Amino acid sequence: MNWHAILGMVAGSVLLLGNIPYIRSIRRGDTRPNRVTWGIWTTIGFILLGSSYSLGATNTLWLIMAQVVSQLVITCYAFKYSRGKWQRLDRICIAGAGLSLFLWWRSGSPLVALVMNIAMDMLGAVPTITKIYDDPNSEDLTFWVMSFTSAVVNLLTIENFDRALIIFPLYLFLLNTLVLMLLTRSKWSRIKK
C-alpha cells in the first residue's frame, strides 16, 4: 500500500469522524441541516461513487465512500430534526438536479455523469450556502473544518493528474473553502476591526 492510498483512507476517516460533532449538534438543535441539500447529496453520492470508480479513481474513492455513508446518516437526521417549510429555492434545486440526472442518463458517459453529478452537487449546496449566509450559527463549524481537512487530504491522494480524476476532489475543496469562509466571516470581520 502506497502513501496515496493511506492518505485516501485518512481523508475518509476524518470525514466520518466529523459526523460525530455534527450529529450531536443536530440533536441539540444547534445545527439545522437543509433537507434538500443532504437529500440531493445522498442521491448523487452513490452515482459519483460509481462514475468515479469507472473513470479509474482509486485513492480518492475512500472519501467518496465516507461521504455516501455520512450523507445518508445526515439526511435521515435532516428529515427528522430540520425545521421550516420547503422553499422555492429548494424546489428549483431539486428540479435542476433532476435535469442533470436526466442529461447524464441520456449521455451514458462516466465523464458526463461526473460533470452532471458535480452540477447536481452544486445545486444541492445552494440551499445550505444560502442558509449559512443568512445564519452562520445554523451549521456546526467543527464538522465543516473536518470536511475541509478531508478535502485537502483527498487532493494529496491524487496520483494520476487526469482532468477527470481531479475535478471532483478540487470541487470538494472549493465547496468546503466557501462554506468555511461563510461560517467564519463574522470572526474575520471582528479581527479586521
Q: What span, in angstroms and rounded, lies between the C-alpha atoms of 22 and 42?
A: 16
Looking at residue 72, its pLDDT comes to: 93
The 3-class secondary structure across the chain, one letter per residue, is: CCHHHHHHHHHHHHHHHHHHHHHHHHHHCCCCCCHHHHHHHHHHHHHHHHHHHHCCCCCCHHHHHHHHHHHHHHHHHHHHHCCCCCCHHHHHHHHHHHHHHHHHHHHCCHHHHHHHHHHHHHHHHHHHHHHHHHCHHHCCHHHHHHHHHHHHHHHHCCCCCCHHHHHHHHHHHHHHHHHHHHHHHHHHHHHHC
- Contact, 124 vs 41, CB < 8 A? yes
Looking at residue 108, its pLDDT comes to: 75
User: What are the pLDDT tens digits along the chain (193 aa)?
Assistant: 788 888 989 999 999 999 999 999 999 989 988 888 888 888 888 878 887 888 788 888 888 899 999 999 999 998 888 766 667 777 777 777 677 777 777 877 777 777 888 888 888 898 899 999 999 988 999 999 999 999 999 999 887 777 777 888 899 999 999 999 999 988 776 666 6
Q: What is the pTM of this model?
A: 0.82
Looking at residue 26, its pLDDT comes to: 93
